[in-house]
Structures are given as C-alpha cells and as structure tokens.
C-alpha cells in the first residue's frame, strides 16, 4: 500500500504530465518524492538507471518520462522516437524489477490503437489492425511498455500498472511549432495571429480529424485514484469521453481569445494523422474515476500558463 510516507520516484517530473503529477502529490502531503534532472541522470543509460534505482529503492516508480512530439516530429525522427522510448521504459521497468520495486505506473498513449479502430476505442482493440503511419514508431514503443508491465506483473507477482491517456494539454505544455501537439500549436498560432493583427493562420491538414482532449491535472488525478486500486486489466483508458474536430478546436480557441474574425487556412498538403481516436472510458468509470475539468476551464489555465511563459 502506497501512503504519504512512501518513497515515490517520478521520472520525467519537468515535463507537462510529470510536473502535474508531482504537484498533485505535493498538494496532498506526500513527503518522500524523488526527482532528478535528465542532465544528471540520462534515462537511456542502462547502467546509470539500474544503479540509481538500486540506491534509491523507491516504493513506487511513475514513468512520465518519454520522447514526445506532434505529427511532424513523430514522422521525421522515427528512429529517435522508437530508440529513446524503448530505452527509457526498458531501463525503468527492468531496473525496478531488479531493485525489487513492487509498484510502478507506466503512462501510455492513445496512439497505440489501430489507425482505423472502431470508435469509441475499447482496451481490447489493441493490436487488432495497422497503426497510423506517422507515429507508428512511438506507438510500437508504448505497446512494448504495456506488454512489458503486464508480463512482469504476471511472471514476477508485481504491481506494474498502465494508464492509457488521450491527447493531453495544460500548463507546462510544449508550444514549439515543430515538436508540439496540435492543441498547443493552435494556441500559439491563434494567440500570435491576434497580437500581431494578422487576418489568418494556418492549420496542418484538412481540419477534419477528431481528437479527444484530457486536461493534464485530470490525468494526475487518475494516477492518484488508481494508485492503490487492484486492477485486473493490463491497462485502462483515461480520457474525457468527448471529441471534436481540429477545425472545431481552432474556432473554439479563437472565440475564447476574442479572435473569431481570424480566417483558418488548412494546409491539405500536410498529413492528418489518425482520422479519429476517441477512447472508450467505461472501464475507468466503472472503477469510479471520471474527468472533471471542462474544456473552457482547462483552456483558460493553459492560456494563462502560455502567456506567462512568453512574457
């Protein structure tokens, strides 16, 4: 049982997701949180990771560390995405096993599912069809992590859980246009167009794909909720249960920023990615968890964070 005196190692605490989890634990009074900057511990270095876990011997490891990016980065740098993610998660999962750490939470991604999966996507649809081509390298790494946790738990009587979130957004997101996810990129493009008095902004693809968004603080809440729950499933979908088109999100952000007059130009030469990936979140709901933050509330907090960053 993990409690407020347990030692908890959060790998990737400086990223959007890891930082939200760290803040959640601190708010709730967890006293022994372990973090380390990636400059001091390269998580792709097996020897150093194994040694670190053996020395620290936490009661729980949370893997929020990963090489992530939007559709452009995923498509251009597949070799990096598959190598670095496999290395990071292999080192942390196997290293935890070697250090006799019984509890671990691995963060997956909704891109593990087939490109043309039936909607909404149930957990059982994993490996039932071809992946989306632009992010298949990242997806394969995540699938490997899911199967690794499941089989280590089964073979060695460990409690290694996997939570599978939809697209996340929120404070501490990455707004770099080459590496960010679509929602962060839209926020930056629309905000910059507004303050520079531009008449239009460009969006990748047709704007027709549907995307489900989950506010990062809601995901941190899910991590806390499932911390001590006994889960019989290999992994659980974590999402809001609602999705809209990229075009809808662009218009929504523009309206909230008071920039509804901006014209959206769709660059149809660029790929759309998966046409839709709405998660079926009935398992999480049956176990008692559901997302609480409205898109309007989440966007306001994210915008406040973005404006603070650039000023």
Q: Which residues contact 266 (CB under 8 A, 6 or more apart)?
A: 202, 203, 205, 206, 207, 247
Measured CA to CA, the distance from residue 290 to residue 215 in angstroms comes to 12
Task: Give the active site residues.
Answer: 138
Measured CA to CA, the distance from residue 309 to residue 311 in angstroms comes to 6
Measured CA to CA, the distance from residue 104 to residue 93 in angstroms comes to 8
Q: Which two tokens stand for residue 282?
A: 């009935």
Dihedral of alpha carbons 112, 164, 74, 60, sign: negative
Measured CA to CA, the distance from residue 291 to residue 215 in angstroms comes to 8
Measured CA to CA, the distance from residue 200 to residue 206 in angstroms comes to 16
159 exposed, middle or buried (CB, 10 Å; 0-12, 13-18, 19+)? middle
Query: What does the DSSP assignment read for 30-71?
Result: --EEE---TTT--TT-HHHHHHHHHHH--SEEEE-------H
Q: Which two tokens stand for residue 260?
A: 């509804």
**Residue 30, number of CB atoms within 10 A of its CB:** 19
Helices in 57-161 by DSSP H: which ranges? 71-76, 78-98, 136-156
Q: Which two tokens stand for residue 151?
A: 């089989």
Q: Which residues contact 220 (CB under 8 A, 6 or more apart)?
A: 17, 20, 21, 23, 24
Three-state SS at 24: helix
């Amino acid at each position: 049982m993990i409690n407020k005196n347990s030692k908890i190692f959060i790998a990737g605490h400086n990223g959007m997701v890891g930082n939200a989890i760290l803040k959640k634990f601190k708010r709730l009074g967890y006293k022994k949180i372990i973090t380390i900057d990636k400059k001091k511990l390269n998580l792709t270095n097996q020897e150093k990771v194994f040694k670190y876990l053996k020395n620290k011997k936490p009661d729980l490891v949370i893997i929020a560390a990963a090489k992530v990016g939007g559709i452009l980065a995923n498509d251009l740098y597949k070799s990096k995405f598959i190598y670095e993610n496999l290395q990071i998660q292999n080192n942390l999962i196997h290293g935890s096993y070697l250090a006799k750490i019984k509890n671990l939470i691995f963060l997956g991604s909704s891109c593990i599912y087939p490109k043309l999966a039936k909607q909404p996507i149930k957990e059982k649809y994993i490996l039932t069809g071809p992946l989306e081509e632009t992010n298949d390298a990242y997806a394969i790494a995540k699938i490997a992590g899911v199967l690794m946790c499941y089989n280590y738990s089964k073979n060695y009587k460990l409690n290694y859980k996997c939570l599978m979130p939809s697209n996340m957004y929120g404070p501490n997101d990455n707004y770099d246009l080459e590496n960010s996810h679509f929602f962060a990129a839209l926020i930056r493009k629309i905000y910059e167009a507004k303050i520079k008095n531009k008449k239009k902004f460009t969006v990748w693809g047709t704007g027709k794909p549907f995307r489900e968004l989950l506010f990062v603080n809601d995901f941190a809440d899910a991590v806390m909720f499932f911390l001590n729950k006994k889960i019989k499933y290999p992994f659980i979908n974590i999402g809001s249960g609602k999705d809209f088109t990229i075009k809808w999100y662009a218009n929504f952000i523009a309206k909230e920023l008071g920039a509804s007059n901006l014209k959206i130009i769709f660059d149809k030469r660029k790929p759309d990615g998966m046409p839709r990936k709405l998660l079926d979140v009935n398992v999480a709901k049956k176990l008692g968890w559901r997302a609480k933050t409205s898109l309007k509330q989440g966007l306001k907090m994210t915008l406040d964070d973005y404006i603070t960053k650039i000023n």
